[in-house]
Amino acid sequence: MSNTKYTYAVARIRALETSLLSDGDIEQLLSCKTAEQALQFVTDKGWGDLSVSADMDAVLKREEEKTWEVIRDVAPDMSVFDVLSYPKLYHNLKAAVKEVCTEVDNPNIFYDDCSVPGREMLEIVRNREFSRLPGTMAQTAAEAFEQLLHTRDGQICDVRIDKAALEAIYDAGKRSGEKIIADYADTTVAIADIKIAVRSRKTGKNAEFMRSAMAECGSVNVDQLIRAALAGEEEIAQYLEGTSYAGGADALRESPSAFERWCDNRMIQSLKPQKYEAFSVGPLLAYLVARENEIKTVRIILTGKQNDFPEEAIRERVREMYV
């Protein structure tokens, strides 16, 4: 949907895109000898701010917050960004259910930049006030809570909530009325399903497990993907070759890290044409995803250097930049 209501927002985003990290910046980051030097490199570029300490987690969390602050400031309609906020919302639900059921406090794993912040989510789950949650999330929360309480199986809880998150993302995409948002949501779910197939193959999961974890979408056939996963990794690659995710086949054959990198790069590549849009929500979505991608990449590099990984081992996990 082309709409002049986005003209101001896109102009603001165009100015901010100039400060996104380039592939050259990533090369400089990789060449830093220590994690401290690498962190200094990004703080010199304005990452973090005076309100946070100069440690990796605080700086990266602040960058995520700043990104959403910008979008909230310029976007005429925030509901179209549900596809990007739902992962954090459902993460909060999963963390809260586990904390309440296991009685193990872990306050630092919650997100506050979503519609139900961590503290509120904990209160809802602790009091079993699931009706306060939006849409179908109330039923998901009640079911996951009862499952974990009675089975003590954290994986069942994870699978239940993760699938619900994917379904919510897909539905939000369709509901948005914006083709770029709907396409992004479809791709997000498809890539998640492909990851589930690959991991299920490696860990010997059966069809019932995969069906309980995968969400339906438009660009991947779940039944065919499950059959391929049961047959073997090469069969998954062959299935992908007949879809719009053919690049994943080569990456899967190359190495696990190449496949994980392809999953993220595929999202960025699909959004690069938004650089040339001027009157739609597309550039705002692309900026959000680009920021998430570069924050993830900086985390990979900093964590690798903290753990003294060789540069080549870090490099093969580095994602493609938007600019």
* Residues 216-242, mean pLDDT to the nearest whole number: 97
User: What confidence tens digit (pLDDT) does each residue in 145-174 have?
Assistant: 999 989 989 899 999 999 999 999 999 999
| Domain ranges, ordered by start, for the chain | 1-77+281-323, 80-177, 179-254
135 band by pLDDT with thresholds 50, 70 and 90: confident
Q: How high is the pLDDT of residue 293?
A: 92
> d(Cα 111, Cα 309) in Å, to the nearest integer?
29
Q: How high is the pLDDT of residue 3?
A: 60
Higher-confidence residue of 136 and 323: namely: 136
* Residue 1 pLDDT exceeds 50: no
User: What confidence tens digit (pLDDT) does each residue in 136-152 have?
Assistant: 999 999 999 999 989 98
* Residue 307 pLDDT exceeds 90: yes
> d(Cα 168, Cα 86) in Å, to the nearest integer?
7
Q: How high is the pLDDT of residue 41?
A: 95
Contact 243, 220 (CB under 8 A): yes
Among the residues of the chain, which ranges form H helices? 7-17, 23-31, 35-44, 56-74, 82-102, 118-126, 137-151, 154-175, 179-203, 207-213, 222-231, 233-241, 247-254, 256-271, 282-306, 311-315
Identify the CA nearest to 47 among candidates 57, 60, 37: 60
Q: How high is the pLDDT of residue 266?
A: 93
User: What confidence tens digit (pLDDT) does each residue in 185-209 have?
Assistant: 999 999 999 999 999 999 999 999 9
* Residue 49 pLDDT exceeds 90: no
Round to the nearest angstrom and report the end-to-end CA distance of the chain. Answer: 24
* Residues 310-314, mean pLDDT to the nearest whole number: 91
Identify the CA nearest to 198 among candidates 261, 268, 248: 248
* Residues 254-259, mean pLDDT to the nearest whole number: 93
Q: State what percent of residues in the chain have pLDDT above 90.
A: 77
φ, ψ for residue 300, nearest 5 deg = -60, -45
Contact 219, 246 (CB under 8 A): no
> d(Cα 69, Cα 158) in Å, to the nearest integer?
29
Q: How high is the pLDDT of residue 53?
A: 73
User: What confidence tens digit (pLDDT) does each residue in 56-114 have?
Assistant: 998 998 999 899 999 999 999 898 899 999 999 999 999 999 999 988 887 778 988 88
According to DSSP, residue 274 is labeled G
CATH homologous superfamily of domain 1-77+281-323? ATP synthase (C/AC39) subunit, domain 3 (1.10.132.50)
Exposure string for 268-297, b = 16+ CB within 10 A, e = fewer:
bebbeebeebeebbbbbbbbbbbbbbbbeb
Rg (C-alpha) for the chain, rounded Å, is: 20
